[in-house]
């Protein structure tokens, strides 16, 4: 699919961006991979780690439509991973979150259509389902903007779809690296002992993005089936003897996360190891291998049927120590 193609990744120096870049280089033979991000230091470090002549690095911000237009020239596929995503920061600086997550999404869409990009996959979040914080609300708007872009593209035929998943294990700013760094102190900060989260590996996230590129017709939201885990169990897996310090829920946080709301059930289909949420006006319902979910279905981290055990997470930690120590 990506052989001899030009792929651009916004936010390309992030956890997903760098991992997906490595997968593209190892699994395919892309003509070029463009890393588009605003942090030149991260670009410099990534360029030194991945010394491949097919890589191009462009410093730019998705808020800058002109810069995107230049970067998207001759691009075949785009992964839109750039976002302002730290929940408390978004609560404190909502104007900045809107500029990046909504206006930036609109700029990506315009640039992709003008450049006749073949497909764009936007990365979303569980926080966009029934959002209660600024980050989730802006990503919900972003998702709707990307869905609407399929009609907006007109005769140019650029296809836009969305991948929605929860906590990526080991990603920068997430709880596992935080707990790992604090475990030597013997005390770990717990927001609320009831809290649960979806757990997805970076490989599972990348698999879902590939699936979206392979099969999307326009406007679908792809949701990976993943296990849940209690925050206290995550802590026990990292430091079984640690004491908990209850610090309270941060601004904008939920006790439990949601990937699919009950309001989306009418357009949701079970596709084996993932769900697909079609837009309400979709023409692509009832494909042979897709089964509609029950009308009262919803997908929440506390009522999930699949749970990750402490031992499962310990094994993942042992296999990914290099990520946690970086």
Per residue in 183-226, pLDDT (tens digit) is 888 899 999 999 999 999 999 999 999 999 999 999 999 999 99
> What pLDDT score does 286 carry?
60
Q: Which of 42, 127, 224, 225 is catalytic?
A: 127
Task: Write down the CATH number for the domain with range 6-166+200-225+258-296.
Answer: 3.40.50.720
Q: Label residue 285 exposed, middle or buried (CB < 10 Å: 0-12, 13-18, 19+).
A: exposed
Residue extents of the structural domains in the chain:
6-166+200-225+258-296
> What pLDDT score does 326 carry?
63
Ranges of the chain with pLDDT below 70: 155, 282-286, 325-326
Tell me how many degrees the CA angle 257-262-266 measures, rounded to the nearest 5: 135
Handedness of CA 111, 156, 268, 261 (dihedral sign): positive
Torsion of CA 37, 40, 45, 48, to 10 degrees: 90
> What pLDDT score does 174 carry?
82
Torsion of CA 130, 134, 138, 144, to 10 degrees: 20
> What pLDDT score does 284 carry?
62
Concerning whether 325 is annotated as a catalytic residue, the answer is no
């Amino acid at each position: 699919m990506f052989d001899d193609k030009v792929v651009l990744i916004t936010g390309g120096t992030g956890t997903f961006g760098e991992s997906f870049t490595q997968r593209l280089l190892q699994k395919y033979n892309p003509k070029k991979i463009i890393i588009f991000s605003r942090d030149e230091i991260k670009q410099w470090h990534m360029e030194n780690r991945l010394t491949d002549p097919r890589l191009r690095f462009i410093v730019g911000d998705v808020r800058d439509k002109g810069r995107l237009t230049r970067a998207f020239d001759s691009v075949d596929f785009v992964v839109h991973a750039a976002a302002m995503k730290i929940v408390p920061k978004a609560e404190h600086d909502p104007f900045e979150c809107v500029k990046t997550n909504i206006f930036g999404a609109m700029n990506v869409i315009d640039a992709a259509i003008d450049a006749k990009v073949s497909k764009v996959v936007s990365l979303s979040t569980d926080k966009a389902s029934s959002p209660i914080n600024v980050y989730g609300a802006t990503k919900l708007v972003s998702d709707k903007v990307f869905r609407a872009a399929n009609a907006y593209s007109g005769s140019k035929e650029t296809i836009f779809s969305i991948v929605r998943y929860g906590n990526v294990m080991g990603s920068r700013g997430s709880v596992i690296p935080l707990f790992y760094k604090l475990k030597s102190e013997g005390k770990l900060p717990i927001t609320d002992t009831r809290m649960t989260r979806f757990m997805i590996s970076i490989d599972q996230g990348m698999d879902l993005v590939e699936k979206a590129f392979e099969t999307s017709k326009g406007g679908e939201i792809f949701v990976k089936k993943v296990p849940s885990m209690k925050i206290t169990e995550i802590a026990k897996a990292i430091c079984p003897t640690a004491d908990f310090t209850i610090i309270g829920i941060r601004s904008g946080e939920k006790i439990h996360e949601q990937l699919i709301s009950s309001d989306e059930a009418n357009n949701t289909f079970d596709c084996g190891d993932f769900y697909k949420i079609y837009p309400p006006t979709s023409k692509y319902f009832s494909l042979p291998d897709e089964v509609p979910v029950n009308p009262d279905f919803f997908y929440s981290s506390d009522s999930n049927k699949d749970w990750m055990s402490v031992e499962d997470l310990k094994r993942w930690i042992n296999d990914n120590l290099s990520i946690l120590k970086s």
